[in-house]
Each structure stands twice: as C-alpha cells, then as structure tokens.
Structure 1
Amino acid sequence: MQEFISVWVRDPRIQKEDFWHAYMDYEICIHTNSLAFNKKSSCVRRRYSEFVWLRQKLQDNAMLLVHLPELPPKNPFFSLNNARQIGARMEGLKNFLEEIVRSPVLLSDSCLHLFLQSQLSVRKIEACAEGRSRYTVSEAIQGSGPQRFGSDENLQEGDIDSE
C-alpha cells in the first residue's frame, strides 16, 4: 500500500483577545497511513504566528540539512474580513505544510508532530520536545483527545516540570 499524508487548512475563525485585539486561527487536519505518525487522523487549531514559530524551530533543528519552504508573507494590511486574503493565506499555509511533511528529516522532528497533532501551546511544545514535561511526545499527542470535536487542552499548565 502506498504511504500518504493528507493535509487540510480550513475553517478560519476570528478569535477575540479583548475589545481591541483579535486574530485569525485555522483548523489544521491530518489524515495519514504513514508510520511517522502515531495518530492517523487529527485536527488542531493554529494561528499564523505559530506557523512562523514552527518554521523557525524546524530551521534551527534541521540546521542546513534541509531548505524550508516559505510561509505566505505577513501582510501588514491583512484584513480579518477579506475572504480573498484569508483564502490565499490558507492555501499558502497548506502548501507550506505539504512540503514540510514530504521531508524525512523534518518529519522526524517532534516539534512538528506536536504542532500538527496536539493542542499544546508553542511554549509547551518546546518543553515537551526538550524533555521538560511529565509527558512524552507520544503521550501529548494521544492525550489531546478527539480533536475534531473539541480543542480543550487536556495537559495542564502544571505539567511542565521546570521553566
């Protein structure tokens, strides 16, 4: 059987932080039969700034072994109400992820798996990947529950041992 990894970026949502601040996040869904993934199907929500963090983290971890694809450019005039801009950004994020998961070097990075298959914040992803949490990468991914139906983070703030 041929190995596959399907990636979707969909369902953009505006998240309001307070009266003046809001951001857009996107649902990232993975469906695969790849042995590189513990979970064969998952969905998480991520915002653009987390993709920026992921790209930098992968660049740092892979050093010069792999050329990383570019993210869609950050647009200072990005509008949360402009469907064309949102659609173009989602397509760019999807293309970025599709290229990333085709690289065996990048596919071996635990930060990538935690980004794609757990609801952990980037700070908690780093702690888990560096062994500074009470749970393993696999436990963090498995512990994130049926993500299609909820995005509650089951791993609590106190689960990071040392910060």
Structure 2
Amino acid sequence: MREETDNPTSQQVVSVWVRDPRIQKNDFWHAFIDYEICLHTDSVCFTKKVSAVRRRYSEFVWLRQKLQANSQLMFQLPELPGKNPFFSLNNARQISERMTGLQDFLKQILQNPLLLSDSCLHLFLQSKLSVSKIKACAAGRTRFSVAQAVQGCGLRRFHSEDDLQKIRCDSDSDSSDPGPQMKDLEIKKAASAASLDFMGSRQEESLSSSSDST
C-alpha cells in the first residue's frame, strides 16, 4: 500500500499485516483470539517506523466506532468482517477469513490522510495500551503523551533481517510488498530496536505503572 506525496518523485510506504492468531484464555471457561498487527513505514505521519502489537476483534470494533465518531461522519469507514455468532476458535477457515478482513480494513484506513492524524489510531497500531488507556491518553488524561506511549512499546520480534523477511513472506498481498528501499529501512530500524530493547522495556514498565495510577 503506497501513499502518494506532494513530490511526484517520492513515495511514502505504509505496509500493514494482520497475522499470527493466538488463543488467549481469560479463565477456564472464557477464551478469545488475538492477532499480531505488524506495521512497516517511512511515512512522516508515524514517529515509529516498525512496530508489532496484538489486538483482538472487539478492539477493532471499538477502533472503527471511534474513528467514525472522530471523523464527524464526513465519510463512511470501511466495514469490518461481520461478527459470526457461530465463530469457533477451532475453525481455521473462519479465523483466516476474519484475519484477512481485519487486514483489509486497516489497509483502507491507512490510505486516508484524515484518519492518519487520529491519535487513537496510532495508539491502537503502535502501543500496547488497553482501549481504556488509549482513550485516556488521547484525551490527555495520562502522565505520558501519545508519542511516549508509542515509543515505549518494545520491538522484541524484529531483531534480524530474517525476522523481517519472514513477515514479508507471510503477507498474501503483492500490493503490500515494502520494496527494496523499505527493506533497507526495516533492517536499520530493526537493528536500532535491538540495541534499545532494554531501554524500551524499562520505559514500557514505567508507562504502565503511571497509567495505572491515573
């Protein structure tokens, strides 16, 4: 997915994948599936160029409602995959279809310049904050800013070129291919993330404890 800039000779790349579904258990009787959202970009709209967070379907539902409200009905947002009352955590086909639908939703969202200015979208994509903490942070009710929340999210998955290559191979969309220039950017960001991993982890713990006290 490529975002055109005012300069016709340059392009800003925003590539997103939804992958790696995992079953998470709240307790013995209740479980849900969450998905990894991987984002690679060189867009000036993002302070963090490579990220990976996990989100569940209900959080996608909240995001769409929030973005639709914030856009003041200026346009209709793309639809999410429908909520199936017979959805099964053991049905690989249903999980794959939902995962593809969630990825298509994000791809369309990230093509809209107006939505790219929404703090909730950035916190959803590039922080590990819960929905309640996202709302508090976007409203300025936390001790840390949106940028600090994003930068405080660790990047433990992207420590080598092999990791980045695996993510690209898992994508089933040719239009999402970051390209040679993006590959170099990803490798550099991955190397930087590896060296700052310990620092990011410490900051992440600090943000979490700060938000709990608000």
Tell me, yes or no, if the aligned pair for 1:71 and 1:92 is still in contact at 8 Å. Answer: yes
Query: Share of identical aligned residues, percent?
Result: 66
**Out of 111, 119, 140, which is 1:131 matched to?**
140
Residue number in structure 1 paired with 2:107 = 98
Could you say which residue in structure 2 is the equivalent of 1:70? 79
Q: Is the 8 A contact 1:13 1:26 kept in 2?
A: yes
1:13 counterpart residue number: 22
1:25-104 matches, cutoff 5 A: 25-104=34-113
CA distance in 2, matches of 1:158, 1:40: 25
Gaps of 5+ in 1: none
Residue 11 of structure 2 corresponds to which residue in structure 1? 2
Which structure has the greater CA radius of gyration? Answer: 2
C-alpha contact 1:15 1:24 (8 A) present in aligned 2: yes
Alignment partners' CA distance in 2, 1:59 and 1:34: 23
Deviation at 1:160, TM superposition (A): 5.7
1:86 & 1:76 partners in 2: Cα distance? 13
Between the aligned partners of 1:161 and 1:100, the Cα distance in structure 2 is: 33
Q: How many residues align?
A: 161
Query: Cα deviation per residue 1:39-91 (whole Å; 9 max; x = unaligned)?
Result: 00100000000000000000110111222000000001001111110000000
| Greater helix fraction, Structure 1 or Structure 2 | 2
Cα distance in structure 2, aligned partners of 1:104 and 1:158: 31
Rounded Cα–Cα distance in structure 1 between residues aligned with 2:85 and 2:156? 31
Distance 2:84 2:212 in 1: 34
Structure 2 gaps of 5+ residues are 1-9, 159-196
In the TM superposition, what is the alpha-carbon distance from 1:27 to its structure 2 partner?
A: 0.1
Counterpart code for 1:6? S
3-state DSSP of counterpart to 2:40: strand
| Distance in structure 2 (CA, Å) of the matches to 1:147 and 1:96 | 26
Q: Are 2:133 and 2:211, in contact at CA under 8 Å, matched by a contact in 1?
A: no
**Contact preservation (8 Å) 2:77, 2:109:** yes
TM-score by length of 1: 0.93
**Shift of residue 157, structure 1, vs aligned partner:** 4.6
Q: 4+ residue stretches of structure 1 with deviation over 3 A? A: none
Root mean square deviation, CA, Å: 1.6
Q: TM-score, normalised by structure 2?
A: 0.72
Q: Which residue of 2 aligns with 1:120?
A: 129
Of 130, 148, 156, 2:208 maps to 156
Q: CA deviation at 1:159?
A: 2.4
Contact 2:138/2:146 (CA < 8 Å) preserved in 1?
yes
2:59–2:131 CA contact under 8 A, matched in 1: yes
Contact 1:128 1:137 in 2 (8 A): yes
